[in-house]
Amino acid sequence: MPRHLLRQWTRRFQPVIDRLTSNPTVQRFAPSLANPSLWHLNRRSTARAVAIGLFCGLIPGPLQMAGAVVLCLIFRSNFPLSVITTLYTNPFTIVPLYLVAYEYGRLLFPEAGAATTFAPPPNTHLLELLPAIAAWMGELGKPLAVGIVLLAITLAALGWVAVRIGWRLHVVHAWRRRARRRGQPVPPWCFRRGARQ
């Protein structure tokens, strides 16, 4: 999503953010929630938020969003974006992701056999599916546990790098487009690390 569209989307929530951060209870008991880095988008907080969301999305159970909130407070990253990013895992994507994690874990446990495929019981409701997934995860054991951590770290690193590169390319493209529109030569500094971002 382009940066200006992301900013417009988050600007809709600004009144809610202002109410939350100016609440006397929040200011007294959770002053860290009023930190601007948790609510505003910039290159650093956005990259950290995506990395945290990708990492916490693989946490088993219903602790993904809670984990994202805690890590956002620690690393001062954009908290709504981080929570939204965790939603890449859901009951439909978790099994393929965990199969990838299991294969990743087998690199450290080569003696482990191939993963058993997950076969949900017929006519299962969503709430009944979660215990079945948990039992299947238990059967996969150590390779899955280690693989989840390795895959979470890998996805977080890739997400962080992708956002940083994407943001940089967007800034350079915007400067070049602006310079062409004004009929000016493209400033050489917009290609260097010191360019405004």
How does pLDDT run across 94-109, given as a tens digit for each residue? Answer: 888 988 998 898 888 8
In a domain, 160, yes or no: yes
Distance CA 49, CA 77 (A): 5
> Quick one: pLDDT at residue 151?
96
In a domain, 197, yes or no: no
The answer for residues whose C-beta is within 8 angstroms of residue 83's C-beta and 6 or more apart is 53, 65, 68, 69, 72
> Quick one: pLDDT at residue 182?
79
> Quick one: pLDDT at residue 113?
73
Q: Are 105 and 147 in contact (CB under 8 A)?
A: yes
In a domain, 98, yes or no: yes
In a domain, 39, yes or no: yes
Number of domains in the chain: 1
The predicted model gives 151-173 an average pLDDT of 93
Residue range(s) defining the domain that contains residue 122: 3-191
In a domain, 30, yes or no: yes
In a domain, 196, yes or no: no
pLDDT: which is higher, 85 or 123: 85
Q: Which 8-state DSSP code applies to residue 1?
A: -
In a domain, 23, yes or no: yes
Distance CA 167, CA 2 (A): 9
The predicted model gives 71-79 an average pLDDT of 89
pTM of the model as a whole: 0.74
> Quick one: pLDDT at residue 48?
95
Maximal C-alpha separation, the chain: 66
